[in-house]
């Protein structure tokens, strides 16, 4: 008998259907020599600090860092009943093999390994690795089960992720909370290995925008033509009629506008960038800080002859885009529809799991495996049934499909390939409007990668103008240089089916280097520098993805391709966590840090806790562990050393005074804490003092099934005991009893039966 464990009930149902298991029990499916049960996501978690060391119950800086010799696992209370059913199935005598059918990725592996570890049963395991939930894909994967040991490295990476989050998150949260509480009474500060560097990026961008001071600048434009007389037909040819690429009957513009720039600055930029022009720097080379200087340049060129020192006209190719991974799909959906990262993930998950019309969405792969080439034509045939795709598919389906490493590249595929349609017709599914939008993105991208490249005609004209003896601004010498660039589409290729954001086209005349041209008019235009843009979810996802990749060495760049803050599967939840904790907020499509978020980052005195690059490098190491290029032991050793460094740095730093982090103390004072003499107030399910978790005093608002009132707490804090109270209930026997409550010498609440008529 094989026991199959899925990650969620819906997946178990799909597995049962595909594998012919029809008998449904309360906790599993059974039949054909199989039992198929399910988890509810993460059912087990790492143990709390107090379970390793009783002293770790106290929030004290001197007790840190907390580094267990070995991590233990707890079953989550809200899943315990179902976990016991799974454990019983695992331990059944007739079960000889256990199949891991949890999601095919790092977290799915961790869910399964924790369940097996908690059950305490060692039986042979195998792995069902599925990238599509169609019946055919499940059956194919079932016929190709892999030994569970083949995924031990992936499990190592998963455990490292979980344990490093525990070590950094819990230690840093306690250390920073204790440190800040030396000057500010605050609730526990939430610090996370990935969440905090992400917040730090947002805060940094907001501060940069807030501190930005706009400056005026001026530019000079010149109107040129190859003849001394103005060509009125094309006098304003900045927006010429679209070029007809079929018959080329559209006349070439004869007049064009070019912009003055400092040639010496452009040369310096090229020298510093290995010959490449960097757009922001080139833009600065076109600017003047004085209107008077701009007018001098304009006057010096007015009506002068010029010489074309550069005239290039060439055909350029825009290659097809890469297929989508989750991160790229989330970015596109945010740009196109304004969807949040979490909404896109939820929609993609529904298309994968419920409708089964796209492949596994939680992937960081943007390529396909070479052996998938034969699976593409049937998918395209199914997409032909959809009217918007039909004509485009027919244009290239009769020809051999494009291949090459831009599409099929085994070296670039990790756990999962790129997101593509499965071949199941969406016409048979009841998709809502948003699900249709996400499927359309995925389908159009697949069609785009097999379409022809886009072709453009790109032109560049550079004019040198001698100004004779005309006065010029200080530091600027004759000749003056003007530049114009143009680009016209010849063949849209893939852009017909997957259009990028529209760009303004501009056609320039076909001229030759050395040709004499004439300036007919010069004009001065005022502009202002603009601050950086606020993050939106698309740009934030891009920044999270690129964290840790700023490396010059090409070999290291390849090794770090999987670096970043979090993974495609977790970035959406990181953003949602920051939103839920009120560290950031959405304002229309912008994401900004709240006052609380800014204050938290300002309070953190350890740069490593805020370092996106460091966390990105750690994520790359987790991927290296999964690929066998790093080891679990070395990684955890480095994390442990890093945690010790963080704690020592916090201990030796000056406590920050950040009033914005102060807890709200508007709740009524009920008395004075017997241990630290600060006011005691009601906070949620407990009564605690203003000192916070660094003080051990606490009174729970429910004791032995009876609610504790504020009046009773006031009696305890002023008299040391309450009056006689009815309504307590024994947990062991279920009997009710009466008693007084009393504070003992340790400041803990105990029962006092000395005045009670009945005792438990």
Rounded-to-5 percentages of helix, strand, coil across the chain:
40, 20, 40
Q: Where are the alpha helices (DSSP H) in 512-594?
A: 537-546, 554-559, 571-580
In this structure, are residues 744 and 729 in contact, taking their beta carbons and an 8 Å threshold? no
pLDDT computed for residue 659 by the predictor: 75
C-alpha–C-alpha distance, residues 116 and 204, integer Å: 43
Is pLDDT at 694 greater than 90 in this prediction? no
**pTM for the structure as a whole:** 0.81
Question: What number is the average pLDDT over the span 14-27?
Answer: 92
Under the banding of pLDDT at 50, 70 and 90, the label for residue 493 is: very high
DSSP 404-444: STTTB-GGG--SS--B-B-S--GGGS---HHHHHHHHHHHH
Instruction: Show Cβ contacts of residue 271 under 8 Å, excluding neighbours closer than 6 positions.
Output: none
- Asked if 518 and 222 count as a contact pair (C-beta separation under 8 A), the reply is no
Closest CA to 597 of 210, 209, 195, 211: 195
Least confident among 33-37, 249-253, 536-540, 567-571: 249-253
Cβ contact 76:43 at 8 Å: yes
Burial 484-504 (b: 16+ CB within 10 A, else e): bebbbbeebbbbbbbeeeeee
**Tokens 């953003």 sit on residue:** 575
Give the per-residue SS3 of 622-651.
HHHHHCCCCCHHHHHHHHHHHHHHHHHHHH
pLDDT class of 268 with cuts at 50, 70, 90: low
Q: Map tokens 């010496």 to a residue.
A: 264
**How many of the other CB atoms lie within 10 Å of CB of 85?**
14
Q: Which two tokens stand for residue 171?
A: 């230690």
Which pLDDT does position 280 carry in this prediction? 54
Q: State the Cα–Cα distance between residues 626 and 628, nearest whole angstrom.
A: 6
Q: Are 39 and 8 in contact (CB under 8 A)?
A: yes
Average pLDDT in the chain: 87
Retrieve residue 128's tokens: 């069902």
pLDDT in the model for residue 618: 87
Residue 130: both structure tokens together = 């599925």
Give me the DSSP letters along 293-339: HHHHHHHHHTT-EEEEEEEEEEEEEEPPPPPB-HHHHHHHHHHHH--
Q: Where are the beta strands (DSSP E) in 167-297?
A: 216-225, 256-261
Helix (H) or strand (E) holding 483: strand 480-491
pLDDT > 50? residue 314:
yes
pLDDT > 90: what percent of the chain?
A: 60
532 burial via Cβ count (<10 Å: 0-12, 13-18, 19+): exposed
348: three-class secondary structure by DSSP: helix
322 with 367: CB under 8 angstroms?
Answer: yes
User: What is the DSSP code (8-state) at residue 521?
Assistant: E
Q: How does DSSP classify residue 250?
A: S
Count H helices and E strands in the chain, helices first.
21, 27
Spatial CB neighbours of 705, under 8 Å, sequence gap ≥ 6:
727, 728, 729, 731
554/177: higher pLDDT: 177
E-assigned strands of 529-615?
A: 535-536, 584-587, 590-593
Average pLDDT value for residue range 636-662: 88
Structure confidence at residue 58 (pLDDT): 87
Per-residue pLDDT reduced to its tens digit, 148-159: 999 999 999 999
- Residue-level pLDDT at 227: 85
Average pLDDT over residues 267-286: 58
- Adjacent-strand bridge partners of 362: none
- Gap between the Cα atoms of 442 and 444, Å rounded: 6
What confidence category does residue 757 fall into, taking pLDDT thresholds of 50, 70 and 90?
low
Strand, coil or helix: 513: coil
Known catalytic residues are: 360
pLDDT in tens, 587-602: 989 999 999 899 999 9
Mean pLDDT of 368-390: 91
**For position 760, what pLDDT does the model report?**
41
What's the whole-number mean pLDDT along residues 27-43? 94
CA distance 437 to 337: 9
pLDDT at 54 over 60: yes
H or E element at residue 34: strand 34-38
The Cα–Cα gap between 56 and 50 comes to 5
Residue 79 confidence (pLDDT) above 70: yes
- pLDDT at position 400 is 84
**What's residue 240's pLDDT?**
41
Radius of gyration from C-alpha coordinates of the chain: 34
Please tell me the distance from the alpha carbon of residue 574 to that of residue 572, in angstroms, as a whole number: 5
pLDDT, position 735: 87
Q: What is the mean pLDDT of residues 514-529?
A: 94
Residue 312 token pair: 């290039």
Percent of the chain whose pLDDT exceeds 70: 91
Spatial CA neighbour of 381 closest among 302, 450, 319: 450
What is the tens place of the pLDDT at every residue in 212-256?
999 999 999 999 999 887 654 444 444 443 333 333 333 445 899
| Contact between residue 419 and residue 325 where contact means Cβ atoms under 8 Å apart | yes
- Listed in sequence order, the residues at least 6 apart from 684 whose beta carbon sits closer than 8 Å to its beta carbon are none
pLDDT(386) > 60:
yes
Pair 75, 48: CB distance under 8 Å: no
User: Please, what's the b/e burial string for 553-581 (b: 16 or more CB within 10 A of its CB; e: otherwise)?
Assistant: eeeeeebbebbbbbbbbbbbbbbebbbeb
Which pLDDT tens digit goes with each residue over 80-122?
999 999 999 999 999 999 999 999 888 999 999 999 999 998 8
CB atoms within 10 A of CB 444: 19
CA 649 vs CA 113, 206, 608, 662: distances in Å: 35, 27, 10, 23
Any residues with CB less than 8 A from the CB of 120 and at least 6 apart, and which? none
Q: Is 411 exposed, middle or buried (0-12, 13-18, 19+ CB in 10 A)?
A: exposed
Q: Quick count: other Cβ atoms within 10 Å of Cβ 74?
A: 14
* Strand 146-147 versus strand 125-127 pairing type: antiparallel
CA distance 122 to 250: 77
Spacing of C-alpha 38 from chain mean position: 28
Q: Which residues face 518 on adjacent strands?
A: 225, 305
pLDDT at res. 328: 95
**How far apart, in Å, are the Cα atoms of 401 and each of 201, 302, 318, 366?**
43, 56, 19, 18
CA quadruple 96, 101, 106, 107: dihedral sign: negative
pLDDT value for 279: 54
List phi, psi (to 5°) of 221.
Answer: -110, 145
C-alpha distances in Å from residue 635, one per residue of 196, 546, 556, 561, 625: 20, 21, 18, 18, 9
């Amino acid at each position: 008998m094989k026991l199959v464990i899925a990650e969620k009930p819906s997946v178990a149902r799909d597995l049962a259907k595909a594998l012919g298991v029809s008998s449904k029990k309360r906790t599993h499916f059974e039949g054909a020599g199989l039992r198929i049960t399910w988890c509810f996501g993460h059912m087990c978690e790492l143990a709390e600090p107090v379970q390793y060391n009783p002293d770790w119950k106290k929030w004290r800086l001197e007790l840190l860092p907390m580094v267990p010799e070995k991590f233990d696992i707890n079953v989550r209370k809200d899943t315990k009943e179902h976990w016991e059913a799974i454990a019983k199935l695992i331990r059944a005598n007739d079960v000889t093999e256990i199949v891991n059918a949890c999601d095919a990725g790092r977290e799915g592996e961790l869910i399964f390994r924790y369940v097996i570890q908690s059950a305490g049963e060692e039986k042979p395991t195998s792995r069902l690795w599925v990238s599509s939930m169609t019946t055919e894909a499940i059956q194919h994967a079932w016929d190709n089960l892999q030994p569970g040991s083949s995924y031990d490295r992936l499990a190592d990476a998963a455990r490292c992720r979980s344990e490093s989050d525990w070590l950094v998150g819990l230690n840093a949260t306690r250390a920073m909370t204790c440190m800040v509480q030396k000057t500010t009474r605050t609730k526990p500060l939430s610090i996370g290995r990935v969440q905090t560097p992400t917040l730090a990026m947002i805060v940094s961008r907001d501060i940069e925008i807030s501190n930005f001071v706009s400056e005026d600048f001026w530019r000079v434009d010149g109107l040129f033509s190859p003849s001394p007389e103005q060509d009125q037909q094309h006098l304003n040819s900045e927006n010429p009629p679209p070029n007809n690429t079929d018959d080329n009957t559209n006349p070439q513009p004869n007049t064009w506008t070019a912009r003055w720039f400092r040639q010496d600055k452009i040369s310096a930029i090229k020298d510093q960038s290995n010959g490449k022009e960097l757009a922001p720097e080139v833009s600065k080379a076109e600017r003047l800080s004085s209107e008077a200087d701009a007018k001098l340049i304009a006057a010096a060129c007015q009506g002068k002859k010029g010489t074309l020192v550069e005239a290039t006209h060439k055909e350029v190719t825009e290659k097809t885009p890469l297929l989508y991974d989750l991160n790229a799909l989330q970015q596109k959906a945010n740009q196109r529809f304004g969807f949040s990262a979490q909404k896109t993930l939820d929609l993609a998950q529904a298309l994968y799991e419920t409708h089964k019309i796209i492949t596994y969405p939680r992937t960081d792969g943007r390529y396909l495996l070479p052996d998938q080439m034969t699976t593409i034509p049937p998918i395209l045939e199914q997409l032909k049934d959809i009217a918007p795709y039909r004509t485009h598919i027919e244009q290239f389906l009769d020809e051999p499909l494009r291949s090459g490493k831009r599409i099929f590249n085994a070296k670039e595929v990790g756990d999962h390939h790129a997101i593509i349609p499965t071949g199941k017709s969406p016409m048979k599914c009841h998709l809502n409007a948003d699900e249709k939008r996400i499927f359309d993105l995925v389908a159009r991208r697949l069609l785009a990668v097999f379409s022809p490249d886009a072709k453009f005609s790109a032109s560049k004209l550079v004019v040198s103008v001698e100004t004779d003896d005309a006065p010029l601004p200080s530091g600027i010498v004759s000749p003056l240089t003007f530049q114009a660039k143009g680009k016209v589409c010849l063949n849209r290729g893939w852009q017909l089916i997957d259009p990028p954001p529209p760009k303004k086209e501009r056609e320039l005349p076909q001229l030759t280097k050395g040709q004499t041209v004439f300036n007919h008019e010069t004009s001065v235009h005022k502009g202002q520098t603009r601050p950086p843009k606020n993050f939106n979810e698309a740009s934030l996802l891009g920044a999270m993805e690129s964290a840790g990749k700023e490396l010059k060495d090409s070999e290291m760049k390849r090794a770090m391709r999987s670096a970043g803050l979090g993974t495609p599967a977790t970035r959406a939840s990181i953003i949602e966590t920051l939103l839920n904790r009120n560290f950031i907020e959405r304002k229309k499509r912008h994401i900004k840090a709240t006052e609380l978020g800014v204050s938290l980052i300002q309070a953190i005195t350890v740069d490593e806790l805020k370092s996106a690059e460091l966390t990105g490098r750690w994520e790359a190491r987790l991927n290296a562990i999964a690929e066998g290029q790093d080891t679990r032991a070395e990684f955890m050793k480095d994390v442990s050393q890093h945690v010790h460094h963080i704690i020592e740095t916090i201990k030796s730093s000056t406590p920050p005074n950040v009033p914005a982090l102060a807890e709200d103390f508007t709740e009524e004072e009920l008395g004075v804490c017997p241990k630290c003499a600060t006011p005691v107030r009601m906070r949620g399910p407990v009564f605690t003092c203003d000192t916070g978790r660094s003080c051990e005093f606490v009174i729970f608002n429910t004791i032995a099934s009876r609610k504790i009132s504020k009046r009773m707490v006031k009696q305890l804090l002023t008299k040391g005991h309450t009056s006689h109270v009815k309504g307590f209930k024994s947990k062991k026997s279920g009997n009710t009893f009466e008693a007084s409550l009393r504070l003992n010498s340790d400041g803990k609440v105990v029962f006092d039966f000395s005045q009670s008529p009945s005792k438990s």
